[in-house]
Structure 1
Amino acid sequence: MYGDFQLRDLTFEISGKPFLNDSEEEMRRVARTLFRQWRRLAGRSGRISILLWIADGSEILEYTGNPADTFEWGYWQGIANPMPMPENPSPEAFHNYNFVPFRYREDAAPRTYGWLKRLIQVLREVGTTECGGKPIRIGAAFDNGPEFSVSDFKYRRHREIAQAHSIYPNSFVTCDSVLHADPKPYAGFPEGIPEGTGIGTFLGRQYAALARDFGFDYLWLSNGMGFGTETWGVTGALFDQHAFYPEKIPEASARMLKFWQELLAELPGAVLETRGSNFPAGVEIATDAAPLGFLYGTGVIAPPVNSPMAAIDFNTGLAIASWMSHIAELPGRDYAFRYYIHDPWFLNSPWLDRYGRNPWDLYPVMTVSRMNGAGEVEPPSRLALLTCDDSYGGMPEQVPDEVIPHVIEAFSSTPDRSGPLLWVYPFAEYSRMRDLPRTFNEDMFIAAAIQDGLPLNTVISTGNFRRVAAKHPEKLTGTIPVVPVTALLEEDIAELLFSFAGRGNFILVYGSGAGIPERLAERIGFRRAAPQRGAARAELFLPGDRTSFSDRLFLHEQFSGGPAVEEALSETRIAAQARFAGGTRLLAGRNGSILFVRSLLPVEEEYLPENPTVFRKRHLNCAPPDRMFPSARLIRWSLAEAGWELRAVPSAPRQMPPRLCIARRDDAFLFCGYTPDTTVPLEIRTPLGVPVPPEQELLLKSGAGIWHTAKAFRFEIRVFVRQEAEGVISGKTMYPLLPGMTPPIEVRNLHNAEVRCLVPPGSSGWEVRRGRTHLPFEWEETPYGRCLLVRDISEQVSFSWKNQRKGNEA
């Protein structure tokens, strides 16, 4: 029901740019504007938070306790601590704000700590009044990078703490760094900084002093602070892209853990919220020994939010996989969705430009949910808005006016049960750091699969899967568990999943067979043979996307969880295989109800960088389909064996497929997605038939439906059609024929069709009509819910039932 939700927290993120002068009157003007613009969302939240992006956290590091001191704040456009100018720069380089940042206003200048303290008081006062007395929290942000404000502390006086190379050499503060001695007095260190003080100790004590003096309620750790040493890339203390170094685990783990232990020792009882890195939990663990098991076990942090990077690099698959990996387990009660609508530092406002006013990074991401140990699906219950102001300090009315209805719609229709695919995530197993290459490979492969159109948006941890399978197995009805090999290395998890498959349910296993027990390999559908690596050719025996693509493969062991050892059993139906010089190895196959996909990432032979300190060399980029076989799509293609045919129909191999998320609510299916190339349709058939979106036409061809989708799409679908005849059918929402009935869902232009309609739980008074003529119908119990079923229907049919709403509800 539209608007029928309640947030636990609504966070307004705001910079110092809207405050055009330092007066209290200006503080109140901006605060009133903020709360007025977003009132419709504030009214649906039990608590309001304000995260202040005043500087980059250097105002915390520099604080001496004197309110008359001034500090640098974020009045720049571009990288405030700029990238080094290239040798022999072009004239354009001098107009590039990453090399030459500029003030957003000519009169912008440092501000006093007294101004900041009064701003916090005014925001709390105005917020309490404007939001009806709701609790108001104020947060301070610490960012480890060079972008937001000039930092004398990080890049001049204490350059020793900037050890990471994420944007340029020595551009990011690493959480395992230590400070050199400094005689300058600070609020937390009035006698100066002793030599060897850890950044965790210094940051914690400085924030504690600022929070005590100014009234901050929580600390936000930005851009992966505490989750690795190279949080914008796949390299780290344990991985340089050439190899993993498990022998370094004890040292790297101790250094990472030391940061958190020192920080928490200075901040007992403090509230910490986190951004996380740009990568899944397994990658953070495998490359940098991130102590997520410790952090989640102690419950001291809020789990990382979804990354805003999808709006920048359009890698929605990586963003969704990363978020799901971080919410499979929860350190607390809930988690937040963060929506990137403005950027106060660089010349873009994602809602208006990067998204083009299309909610393609909202509706699909908001289908993400987690399953708890009772089998209940938990969607996000908190919302953060990054940010409420733009890089000129503007707060344009257009953005809240347009964004709020989409946000309300998305939160009003969050999932109430698992989607058709359920990611069984081995959070605890990855945290033990037993097999770094396997952990890295499994997370990066599933991220690539989602990027290539796999509709995976519900996650459950292995620990919670144990509980659900034992006590609430009915909650798994209608789902296909998607399981990395790591999870099956736990014998009890393997037995639960194989037992689930033995009852006629499908499971999909992905990963590497290298080094796993022979008995487990055989149950999946292969035996371990001589290892193969290097160049290969892919051979595909099932329908893929309707275009040509390369058959080249190259197996890099460090990216693929080891060499290829998987030789199909005689009873395994081979869907795809890799032909190496030394023989064929299984890429995808079916053994009974077990589907297997070998997680071989499509990385080119000449990929490896010679200079890992260069920012662009720190990313793992899969090759385009005209250069390498798109192996990450094998999961999506393999689902056809389970009745889920999901294929793209591009006209050229480099055209990206639509990215699809499928959720469930009130027994309806919510199909949401992002179409990078709107000329690329989807070919869809499900176990119930072809889904028919309302207010859409689709071509039925060879039993499947051809969908042409907009850049951002969201369909609530209850009707499915099976029809042999080809032709265009259409879905239409009609007006009610009788008082108290729902608007009929109508399908037109049918020809001897079988039509199913999933009805909401608890509904009654069902009617099936052709025009005004009642039609007889059957009931069918399906794994997805109860269906109205009619057969041999031509022309049109409509479905309606009694309206369950009471009165004139908004």
Structure 2
Amino acid sequence: MSAVRPPLRRTNLEVSLKPFDAFDQATLTATVRRIFDQWRTLLDAAEECSVLLWISDGSEILDWAGDLDDTLEWARFIGFSNTDAQPYGETKDPERVAVPYREGTAPITYRDLGRLVATVKAVGAEHGRPTRVGATFDPGPEFAPSDFKFARHPEVVARGEDVGIGPIIAMVRHFSTLHGDDRPYAAFPDGIPQGTSFGEFLGRQAQDYLTALGFDYLWLSNGFGFSSYAWSELGESFDGVRFRSERTAELRERALGFWRDLSAHLTFPVQVRGTNHTAGIDIGADSVPALEVYEGGHLESPPPNSPWGPLNEDFGIEMSGYMSRVALLPAGAEGYRFRFYANDPWFWQQPWWDFYHREPFDIYLPLAVARVRPDGTVQPPTEVNVLSVDTARGVLDERCGREVGIHVTTALESAPDAPGPLVWVYPFREYHEAMAADPTTIDGPHFEDWYLTSTINAGLPLNTVLATDDLGPALASGALAGRILVVPAGALTDDVAAHLGAHAEAGGTVLIYGSLARTGAAGRDLVGLAVARTGLDGDLELHTELPGDSAPGGGLPSTLRHVAHLSAGPVTEVVRGTDDGAPRPAAAGPAGVARVLATVSRDGTERVFASVRPAGEGSVLWVRGSSPFAYAEPDARGVRAHVPHDRIRLADAGALARDLLAVAGLHVSHELRTAGSGRAVHAIHRHDGAYWFSGYLPDTTTRIRLAMPEGAPLLQHTECWYDGGAAVYQLPKSFHLECRVLVRQATAGLLRCREVAPFPMHMSRGTRVSGLVDAAVTLLLPPSRGEVRLDVDGVPVVPAADPAGHAVVLEHVTGTLTVMWEER
């Protein structure tokens, strides 16, 4: 790697103060050197580095009075702090209440912090690395005692009871205002005037604090600046029953006021963690004006992937949230970051050990993400953050640095260099502009993003994202030829519909999801359906012609639960030319009319749920979709929790979007042990001509069936059972596998793909495939390859050229195929 430009712009190591058991200069220097040494593999992959210091909970900034010899409380605890203030929505068990992580801990001074910041930069210079140091602000109650938040200024803390969603964790509301306070602060030496905005207070305090201690940037944690309820699906504008769009205008203006006030007083770069959700879910739950925040120049980079995946096993929301946030970059941003939850410096869990069990799926899966630029090139993550390099006990374990660093750099070696087979066309701009123009639309992005999340959890291999802003030029570049464009109905403006129609006419595939009830004529024409005056919701009977998952002992559930208020309304779509009754599931209809592939019905009334419309050389697919959950009745505390649909009793609407891809030749399904068995969350990206399959199998008793338009993919150094045009795999918990061989044949059987030693000496790579019977074989070799040698059972063969010019094709192959090629 040293011979070429490092693949990352910056490696960011996050650390608490716990590893620093003393603050004399020798100890500080030795500890920082140890951190740099342990993470050398990852640091060597970047041009620069930074260290993000988790000191307290941000109260050290709020309390800062300008005296370096003042002491401060720091996050020297394991467990929940501030429990006397009851900020958690529940009473914490005594064993979970914060206790010092070791004996003899004590407050430290701001001068100590300043020496640590200077030491980090000095050690970085020793290693020849440009090094920045960041300060953190967390709005929550967890990390350290906070007199500011819970005694002096509780008025800035948002509680779920304030907005009718029941008691949940209480965090600082970014657009709150402060009561008067006579205490001197660095930026307010005469105290805080009544009514001072929190944005102004934090901005002025942080400006003074960062300057005095030598910091370079500020990190806003846990959704701060976006939502006061960042961990909840509910919020300021959605209580689980009703979207409170009448609050949207006020919420947008107050949120933007925070960012204007902060930026007016803070000249340092600001980085953000964001919420646990997508940009669209944030619109529905909290009316978050992220577009205006991005375009206002307030952020150095967009929020990274959330660390919530390992905590709640929902890796679909990690992927959809990540992609939605990076589809469009903030003004001036050079790239975006991947963040890995390696250790927790505050609580008992240490994810690399006890959540992941040293399995790297949550490294390879999000590092398969890439955004498409207007010129059709792709941009994978440009920075990596590690939260954190130390454990809650202050341990710096060199195994973590070595193992995580190796997996991250291995993923970077095969980073996406072209759009993947599926590209999510995300309407970041349209969603936000619709919210501003008509707040009653906020339920649409909320539903569409939750549905897309459910499709990823069902096995939709989606990991490339493109903002609608860049759709036209990206299509014109030719880089999206042959790709399946996955598009929410909320994106179907006239211009977007025209671009999508042209893509289909030219031989591409478009997969649209969501309700057509609010879509204009151009969008409905693209899909080829009409909208009836009445719709269906509740428990419906699903009928589908699509191939899908299988389970022993009979089929999967056929009852689909459509919760209208969570799903942008009832199911209203019908075939064009019919009345308000049943759709016409004809094998083929008139030009411009969709063919029905799935319906829902009740009491003799049917509605279309999935369809396909041929368009030129390609096709337009559509699936209505349903929310993947309902809301339970409020519990004794008044909390209304979301409840995922039970897949043992109810059909999974998310799987239908995945099943529709079979129309375009991309087949993903699972052989389940039970209807409720886990399915793969996976990604397919391109690198150097190959497909790369990366992902997570939550239930290793599940088998996955895969087929691509070119044939069944043979994953490098694996075996599969070939049957019915697909390869059936029993994959491990984590996988990151290259595919350069795809096969079609009539005979079922075992196929084996093995890496072999390249021969003769000038060759670079070798692959051997056995079990072929009169097979058509497509080889995806590097575009810049040199000599290629092919033989079947030792007899040289000559390939036919692939029409697209990107692959090598062999016909009627029986026996063992060996491929050698020279890399350039």
- Aligned-pair CA distance for 1:334: 0.7
Q: How does 1:123-134 map to 2 (within 5 A)?
A: 123-129=120-126, 131-132=127-128, 134=129
- Distance, in Å, in 2 between the alignment partners of 1:168 and 1:313 is 20
Residue of structure 2 in register with 1:314 after alignment: 313
- Aligned-pair CA distance for 1:660: 1.4
Contact 2:535 2:607 in 1 (8 A): no
Q: How does 1:39-188 map to 2 (within 5 A)?
A: 39-82=40-83, 93-95=93-95, 97=96, 100-129=97-126, 131-132=127-128, 134-165=129-160, 169=168, 171-188=170-187
- Distance, in Å, in 1 between the alignment partners of 2:87 and 2:337 is 40
- Distance, in Å, in 1 between the alignment partners of 2:734 and 2:638 is 34
Q: How does 1:591-610 map to 2 (within 5 A)?
A: 591-592=613-614, 593-604=619-630, 607-610=631-634
- Aligned-pair CA distance for 1:430: 0.9
- Aligned-pair CA distance for 1:84: 7.6
Q: How does 1:8-19 map to 2 (within 5 A)?
A: 8-19=9-20
Contact 1:603 1:628 in 2 (8 A): no
Deviations 1:321-371 (A, max 9, x none): 001011101111111111111110111221122111110101111010000
Could you tell me which runs of 5 or more consecutive residues in structure 2 were left unpaired when the two chains were aligned.
Answer: 577-583
- Aligned-pair CA distance for 1:318: 0.3
The residue type equivalent to 1:699 in the other structure is W
Deviations 1:125-150 (A, max 9, x none): 12211x21x32111100001111111
- Aligned-pair CA distance for 1:468: 1.8
Runs of 4+ in 1 over 4 A off after TM superposition: 1-4, 83-87, 166-170, 611-615
Residue of structure 2 in register with 1:748 after alignment: 770
Residue of structure 2 in register with 1:803 after alignment: 823
The alignment partner of 1:558 has SS state of helix
- Distance, in Å, in 1 between the alignment partners of 2:59 and 2:711 is 57
Residue of structure 1 in register with 2:226 after alignment: 227
Residue of structure 1 in register with 2:580 after alignment: none
After superposition, the Cα gap between the structure-2 partners of 1:519 and 1:7, relative to the gap in structure 1 and judged at 3 Å, is: closer
Q: How does 1:603-622 map to 2 (within 5 A)?
A: 603-604=629-630, 607-610=631-634, 617-618=640-641, 620-622=642-644
- Aligned-pair CA distance for 1:608: 4.1
Residue of structure 1 in register with 2:278 after alignment: 280
Residue of structure 1 in register with 2:466 after alignment: 460
Contact 1:11 1:384 in 2 (8 A): yes
1:726 to 748, 768, 776: 748
Q: How does 1:617-766 map to 2 (within 5 A)?
A: 617-618=640-641, 620-766=642-788
Residue of structure 2 in register with 1:266 after alignment: 265
- Aligned-pair CA distance for 1:574: 2.1
Deviations 1:681-704 (A, max 9, x none): 101111111111122111011221
Q: Answer yes or no: is 1:533 the counterpart of 2:537.
A: yes
The alignment partner of 2:115 has SS state of helix
The residue type equivalent to 1:230 in the other structure is Y
The residue type equivalent to 2:145 in the other structure is V
Q: Answer yes or no: is 1:542 the counterpart of 2:543.
A: no
The residue type equivalent to 1:590 in the other structure is V
Moved more, 678-687 or 772-781: 772-781
The alignment partner of 2:798 has SS state of coil
After superposition, the Cα gap between the structure-2 partners of 1:515 and 1:391, relative to the gap in structure 1 and judged at 3 Å, is: same
The alignment partner of 2:194 has SS state of coil
The residue type equivalent to 1:557 in the other structure is A
- Distance, in Å, in 2 between the alignment partners of 1:299 and 1:467 is 24
- Aligned-pair CA distance for 1:754: 1.4
Q: How does 1:364-383 map to 2 (within 5 A)?
A: 364-383=365-384
- Aligned-pair CA distance for 1:594: 0.7
Contact 1:506 1:594 in 2 (8 A): yes
Deviations 1:676-734 (A, max 9, x none): 01110101111111111122111011221101111100111110111111111101111
Residue of structure 1 in register with 2:503 after alignment: 500
- Distance, in Å, in 1 between the alignment partners of 2:8 and 2:285 is 35
Could you tell me which runs of 5 or more consecutive residues in structure 1 were left unpaired when the two chains were aligned.
Answer: 805-810
The alignment partner of 2:353 has SS state of coil
The alignment partner of 2:677 has SS state of coil
The residue type equivalent to 2:807 in the other structure is C
The alignment partner of 1:108 has SS state of coil
Aligned residue pairs total: 787
Q: Please tell me the root mean square deviation across aligned C-alpha atoms, in Å.
A: 2.1
Moved more, 767-776 or 448-457: 767-776
2:575 to 568, 571, 587: 568
After superposition, the Cα gap between the structure-2 partners of 1:118 and 1:167, relative to the gap in structure 1 and judged at 3 Å, is: farther
The residue type equivalent to 1:143 in the other structure is D
Residue of structure 2 in register with 1:479 after alignment: 483
- Aligned-pair CA distance for 1:23: 2.1
Deviations 1:440-477 (A, max 9, x none): 111111111112211010000001112223x31x1111
TM-score, L = length of structure 2: 0.92
Residue of structure 2 in register with 1:808 after alignment: none
Moved more, 517-526 or 431-440: 517-526
Contact 2:784 2:823 in 1 (8 A): no
- Aligned-pair CA distance for 1:665: 0.8
Deviations 1:745-800 (A, max 9, x none): 11012222111101211213111112432122211134xx6221222212210112
- Distance, in Å, in 1 between the alignment partners of 2:700 and 2:200 is 51
Contact 1:2 1:408 in 2 (8 A): no
The alignment partner of 1:278 has SS state of coil
After superposition, the Cα gap between the structure-2 partners of 1:169 and 1:692, relative to the gap in structure 1 and judged at 3 Å, is: closer
The residue type equivalent to 1:787 in the other structure is A
The alignment partner of 1:46 has SS state of strand
Task: Give the fraction of aligned pairs with identical amino acids, expressed as a percent.
Answer: 35
Contact 1:56 1:141 in 2 (8 A): yes
Contact 2:15 2:388 in 1 (8 A): yes
- Distance, in Å, in 2 between the alignment partners of 1:170 and 1:388 is 26
Contact 2:87 2:169 in 1 (8 A): no
Deviations 1:20-47 (A, max 9, x none): 1232222112111011111232233222
Residue of structure 2 in register with 1:807 after alignment: none
Residue of structure 2 in register with 1:789 after alignment: 809
- Distance, in Å, in 2 between the alignment partners of 1:718 and 1:309 is 33
Contact 1:526 1:567 in 2 (8 A): yes
- Aligned-pair CA distance for 1:482: 0.4
Deviations 1:627-658 (A, max 9, x none): 32100111111100000110011110111111
Deviations 1:157-180 (A, max 9, x none): 211111134995562111121111
Residue of structure 1 in register with 2:357 after alignment: 356
Deviations 1:400-451 (A, max 9, x none): 1212211111112110110000100001111111411111111111111112
Contact 2:41 2:402 in 1 (8 A): no
The alignment partner of 2:122 has SS state of helix
The residue type equivalent to 1:610 in the other structure is P
Contact 2:494 2:522 in 1 (8 A): no
The residue type equivalent to 2:559 in the other structure is R
- Aligned-pair CA distance for 1:247: 2.0
Residue of structure 1 in register with 2:401 after alignment: 400
The residue type equivalent to 1:113 in the other structure is Y
Residue of structure 1 in register with 2:337 after alignment: 336
The residue type equivalent to 1:173 in the other structure is V
The residue type equivalent to 1:459 in the other structure is V
